[in-house]
Every structure is written in structure tokens, then in C-alpha cells.
Amino acid sequence: MTKRNKGGFLIDNLVITDYANEGKAIGRFEGKVIFVDGAMPGDVVDVRVYFNKKDFAEARIINFREKAAQRLSPVCKHFTYCGGCKWQHVPYAEQLLFKERMVHDTIKHMGKVDVAEWEPIIGSENEYRYRNKLEFAFSNRRWVPNEILTVAHAQNKPALGYHIQGFWDKVLHVDECHLQNEPTNAIRNAVYQYATEKGLSFYDARQQQGLLRNMMLRVLRTGEVLILLTFKENTPDILPLLEFLKSRFPEITSLNYAINAKRNDSMSDLQVIHYSGKPYITEMLDGLQFRISPQSFFQTNTRQAEQLYRKIKEYAGLKGGELVYDLYTGTGSIAIYLARYAAKVVGVEYIEPAIIDARLNASLNNIDNCTFIVKDMADALTDEFVNQHGKPDVVITDPPRAGMHPKVVESLRSLSPEKIIYVSCNPATQARDLQMLDDKYAVIKSCPVDMFPHTHHLENVALLSLR
């Protein structure tokens, strides 16, 4: 049964039958697929459709008729609205089964590629507090859902928390987040209390006004803590806040700030000002040290990064005499990890600051058989490049979500290394690229690694062998 409603039409007694990508679940109504946030197979729900197309619609739950027997109570009080950990209500074992099936289905049906051996997904030992990096936004007006909006909420209180998914100008205030170890919550709440008591202005994304913009925290397994606060402009109010943090939290290893007068929140092009402590923090990964500065990229789940890199090493099967290319090397963590087992590793990346970090980390670990090159991947693998660095025995490729550039795929076909290990955070683009390599390479093994429990995100590692 459906009813028209001011907020969109309603569907009663929708039976949820399966999971879908992007953390949603699926029901069917009159031949149409309905994607529902916060549902799971076994639920029977009333929903309100907020996006409607001919073949599918997207909806939100407004009432439960029945709840799935295996449904869990979410750990986080912000679960309904945050959007960060969409599967807290789903048992972790069930999450892993779906992720594994999603990888298989994507590669088989979208890529139309045969895989000789599907290895079981590698789950995370920690379901919560697994992230070493979190970013929070300040807003002069916190977002409050209509169903709990009260006179007290209507006072336009400021917020320090996460952007509401799909809205660049709406921020959900967060009291506690379960994704990172302490002192994250203590620091965030102390900054909020200090700022409100001192009358510091929180950012207004629409008006482009307000002092406090963003706060990034890194908390490592080594116990080291890095903070980067971003301000709209340089004012006398900044230093007292930094001094407050320094004295209140002596465990902060590296305290930094930046001024961002741009419209967007990107930090890669900002000049970071080091305030106190060390200008970096150090993480340990399988016996290797990695220095992480405020703008460095590093895997956000260190424990699972170890699992991922061990699987890459296993698939590479290095004997000690191989030349390895590491494409999209980033800050060189995979290249440095493998360099202990190969004759030489050549890492290629187009972001120069990342290559600077890679060279520094190689030196820090006394790795002298890594060469890091700054080059656009689409134009990197030329005959001149190969003549200079040698023809690789093994190629590691770990592209962004968009997958490999077609020129890179063509270069790999021409280069014809014996093995390719394809690491992907997006099975759909990985499937596309595997299909383009299928006539030259057989996919021997595939293994998903769950980097982000309670989300739909993962990494998949595929081993390709020259036919």
C-alpha cells in the first residue's frame, strides 16, 4: 500500500530481502527496487521515498513492522543520522559475507572474468576504534533532524562533528565517536567547550565566515597523537586555543594549524604551521617505521594495512632477485614493505609531496633499493622509462577509486610482466580493468580485505599471471 505525503510517497510493509552497495538494503515494490537506509534482510518496514526514478527509488524508514531476528542495537547514539558506520545493526560476520559476495558478483558479472581461486575475506580484529585518522568540521549551526527538533535545539547551537552525507553545509554535532581511540573524544569535546565559552566563531559554510573550520586528529598504535586545526583567518584568538590544548593534553605529540581562506576544505595545498611538539608522528607497521606529517597520506587502519600488505607480499612470491614496479605508490608504503624481499622496487606517483614522504620513509628504514619517481601515471611507462629502470618481473598497481587510466592498462599489456597484483578500493573499476587485461592475464586468486568494519568499503587484492 502507498500513500501520498508532503515529504514524498509512503510504502507500507516493505519486506527487505538483501543488501546493496553503499551500505543500503533492498526491498521490492510493484517491480521497482527500493533502496533503504538502515535496513537489513528480515526487516519489514514502512518507508518514505525521497528519490524516485522509473526503475528504482531510495527511501528512509519511518516505522518498523518487524525487525530481523539478527538485528543488533547500534553502539553509537549518532547512528541513525551520522552515516559513517551504516552497518552497526548488522552482525559483523554477516557484513563480511556480503562484502565477499559483492566482490565475487562484481568481478564475475560486471567484469565477466574467471577467477581460479576465491580466497575468504580477511576480517578486522577490531570492529571499532580502528581508524588512526578522523576529520571533524565546525559549523555555526548544528543540524538537527526534524523529528527531534525542539525549542531548545532551535537556538542555533554550534556544532563540531561530521558533515551529513550529501550536504556540504550541514554538520551533525558529535559527543562521542567509536572509530578512534582516546584521547580523540576528550580533545574534540574540550575544544568545543573552550570555543563556546570563549565565544569563538564557528564556520558558516554558506556565508564563508567564522574562525574555526576543521580539526583533524591522528592517534597511532604507538600512542602518538597529531592535531591539525584549520582556521578561516589568522587572529589573536588562535594561539590561546593552541596553548590550551598543549597544556590540557600533554600526550599530544604534534600540534599544528593552518589558515584556509578558500571556499573548499581541501588541506593538501595549505601551508601547515607547526606549533609545538614534533612536526610529525611515527607509526609502526610490521617492523617498519613511517613518519606521518599533517598532510601525509597513510592507511587509516594500520592493523588491517598489515594484513593487506602481507597478502600482497604472498601474491608477489618474491625470491629476492625481482624488479618490482609499484604504480600509484603514494607515500611508498607498499614499495618499502616489499623492498626487503626484492632486488629493487620502483615507485611511481604524480603527487610530489607524497614522493618526498616516500623517500624519507625509505631512508628512515635503511631501505636503499627503492627508487621513487614523480610522474603522471598515464604517461609514465614509456620505452624510455623501462630502458632506464628495467623491465619489471612484478607490477603492483593500487589506483584510486576511478581505477587505472586506459593508457596505464595499455602500457601493462605492452610491458607484459609475469605477475600483476591489482589492489583496489572499488571492485567495479577493478572488474572493468581486469576485463581489459583478460586476454593476456589470468586471474589466479582474489582476496578481499575488510579495512572498514560497519561500512561497505573494502580493499580487494587480485593476482594476475601472464597467459
pLDDT digits (tens, 9 = 90+) for 386-399: 999 999 999 999 99
**According to the model, what pLDDT value does residue 267 have?**
85
> For residue 399, which of 384, 383, 421 has the smallest C-alpha distance?
421
Between CA 211 and CA 257 the distance in angstroms is: 12
Residue spans in the chain of domains classed CATH 2.40.50.1070: 133-285
Every domain of the chain with CATH number 3.40.50.150 lies at: 94-126+301-466
Q: Using an 8 Å Cβ cutoff, are 253 and 125 in contact?
A: no
The CATH number that domain 94-126+301-466 falls under is 3.40.50.150
End-to-end CA distance of the chain: give it in Å, rounded: 55
Q: What pLDDT was estimated at residue 1?
A: 47
The residue assigned the cell 631501505 is: 367
CATH 2.40.50.140 residue ranges of the chain are 2-71
Provide the 10 A C-beta neighbour count for residue 270: 18
Cell of 462: 587480485
- What stretches of 315-453 adopt beta strand conformation (E)? 323-327, 344-349, 370-374, 394-397, 419-424, 441-449
User: Cβ atoms within 10 A of the Cβ of 416, count?
Assistant: 14
Phi-psi region at 175: left, alpha or beta (left = phi > 0; alpha = psi -120 to 50):
alpha
The pLDDT tens digits of the residues spanning 313-327 come to 999 999 999 999 999
* Cα 454 to Cα 105, 427, 458, 462, distances in angstroms: 20, 18, 11, 23
pLDDT of residue 158: 94
> Do the beta carbons of residue 467 and residue 441 sit within 8 Å?
yes
The whole-angstrom distance between residue 23's C-alpha and the CA centroid of its chain comes to 14
Each residue's pLDDT, cut to its tens digit, for the chain (467 residues) gives 455 544 578 999 999 999 997 889 999 999 899 999 899 999 999 999 999 998 999 999 999 999 999 999 999 999 888 878 999 999 999 999 999 999 999 999 999 999 999 999 999 999 999 999 999 999 998 888 765 555 555 557 899 999 987 777 889 999 999 999 999 999 999 999 999 999 999 999 999 999 999 999 999 999 999 999 999 999 999 999 999 999 999 999 999 999 999 989 888 889 999 999 999 999 999 999 999 999 988 999 999 999 999 999 999 999 999 999 999 999 999 999 999 999 999 999 998 989 999 999 999 999 999 999 999 999 999 999 999 999 999 999 999 999 999 999 999 999 999 999 999 999 999 999 999 999 999 999 999 999 999 999 999 999 999 99
* Beta bridge partner(s), residue 26: 18, 35
Catalytic option among 82, 177, 425, 447: 425
What's the pTM value of the predicted model, to 2 decimals?
0.92
Q: What is the pLDDT of residue 447?
A: 99
The pLDDT assigned to 125 comes to 94
Distance CA 278, CA 249 (A): 15
Question: ∠ CA(320), CA(326), CA(332), 5° rounding?
Answer: 100
What CATH fold (topology level) applies to the domain 133-285? OB fold (Dihydrolipoamide Acetyltransferase, E2P) (2.40.50)
Amino acid at 392: P
Class of the domain covering 2-71: mainly beta
The pLDDT value recorded for residue 151 is 52
Q: Is 76 a catalytic residue?
A: no
pLDDT, residue 149, reads: 55
Residue 397: partners with Cβ closer than 8 Å, 6 or more residues away: 327, 328, 404, 408, 412, 420, 421, 422, 423
Distance CA 132, CA 283 (A): 10
Torsion (CA) 312, 313, 316, 322 in degrees, nearest 10: 140
Distance CA 269, CA 257 (A): 13
Hey, CA dihedral for 312, 316, 320, 325, is it positive or negative?
negative
Tens digit of pLDDT for each residue in 63-122? 999 999 999 999 999 988 887 899 999 999 999 999 999 999 999 999 999 999 999 999
